[in-house]
Structure 1
């Protein structure tokens, strides 16, 4: 009897264990199936470094934290914000547009003489300075203003010969004598005066061949001059040059002939327009600037070399270009990033190559497409969150995301 009772008890115990084991195994299988695999493990204090297995952080005295995939967003690294919260944290978006960018450069310039309008006065023959007309360097002269009287002895003998031949009436000899006077350096006006008066004109009055500023005057009363000696140098003032130093980065957009506006401190309320006449080929090594020459008309002589001016240069891009607000750029020192806005309140950093910047707009050479939206305000908050989560923008030219980096969301109440 006792043996039968023991056998029955053992049988019931075996049946119960089998039933319990049968009930426990499916639950364990379901739990293992529903558990999400970790993409990688990381240290929250140093999220840029990823580890392929759990363990202790080499940076801090703490255990590594797993990062899990989050559904369909696992193939795109991003930061997600509830759309209802974007305004609360100051996120403002701007569209990537295409158009012609007009840039304006505000620079300083200095007036200089026009080196194309220069007159050099030289002695036509050897002689003596009999009179100087009280001129000095820096004087502003009119066209034909007298500078000095020079006595040329050798002209006297040639003129006497000419006057003697003219009394004979031989046309051929008269023409030959007149030609001899020209070859000796005698001006045509002095020859005509001698023919009209019938008297020897051996004193030449040296005059200014143009109106302008007297730069040098190398004659003094009583001195001897040689043929070809420089007596004076005069710069015209009808047009002056405005020398402008343009930064090397903006020099590529300059063209000869474009209009330039200038304002002078000494001429308040006046805006003068000129044209770019030359872009010098050499770049200044000390300032890394391109020297631009602007021609300004000066009919009233109010523009004086040495004056300073505020210059405005306008540049237009030849073709429409992509552009975004300059405030949307995040400059890290090595790269330039923008926070690209995507559907569902997701944002991800994208590296871009920037071009010309004008006031509040910057040209985008690569990295974005027309019609996309970028964060114009609040991007530094998103960039900081992305950095804390180990989200790094791909290198320029490779905008594909890293499959090993799961999508990351930032929602109210969500935890990393």
Structure 2
């Protein structure tokens, strides 16, 4: 089947996508760790799956940045960038509301997008996926061995047994998979992806997913243990779990008709309207250190001038990093971000940018569920971010463990500060100082 490949820019990166199918609700597929839009149509099982899904949906597929037909050589992509790519593809496809189908490693990015943009997600489907890579994916139990296997055998098709054991004895399938490997990513790209994926941990955001969710997992999945799927279903509110026999990790195969039917029925049901007044966001608090003393020392007029310059600097950085100013708190700011890496980088830039003004700020960052209350926000995530900021020293950016886990692969560095008692929380929270 010939389907037109199109491109959309996400930031400065070109992302390749395809649309197939005719009618029905939109269904966007977030693929596993590598993909190739056009070559996958040469795989009979994959093509049959795409045809079946396109029979009752407008099927939207894309290659993640760094793989397939999308821009290569873009470094190690992190989750912020990946959900940016989903949004860019949906915008290009003129999709206002879609079902998300996250396969394997595509699951965490689909989960994060669903929690962050519930108004754009009609439902979430997860297949062979996980919230935390370590302990879930067999190759990542021994990263060195997985990298060695890639160096020695990538491009030969020998790794097919680690994805679809049922097809590993078919020479034609092995040859097809070898071509898929060579076209989807280079060995260096695969090694970098393995390292990044080993750090994925989105467990903290699972309770904030407010869209209907279907989790499908094969009982003896050769790559991701079925326990990972059960944990997703147990933690995501209202999720339904379907466990199937077999050990293939990819959804294509002899039993794919049941998978397609489960998805069709899930999408055919009237999806509940998402609670758009409660969404996942990253909260940033900033605060000028010793502002009262500085006011007395400088005098009201001089301090007012300094404060105005401070506000201008902070707003400039918020605009640059796509932060949304919620309000000023006299000598500080409360802002929201749709990506934790951007929030941390913004905080770091603010700390540096205000120093020429003769002042120092401290900042706290946390990701969690936020209650939207008109122009204001509330909820436990806002409370935690404020408490984290209070623990920071002058010119320091402190983040919660949730933020640190979500920015894996973003190139940010942290120094663990140890557990801290935060007022209002029953248990200590591990805090990390952003460095660099």
TM-score scaled by length of structure 2: 0.16
For normalisation by structure 1, the TM-score amounts to 0.17
Q: Kindly indicate which of the two structures has a greater share of residues assigned to strand.
A: 1
The higher relative CO (CA closer than 8 Å, separation ≥ 6) is in 1
Q: Which has the larger radius of gyration?
A: 1
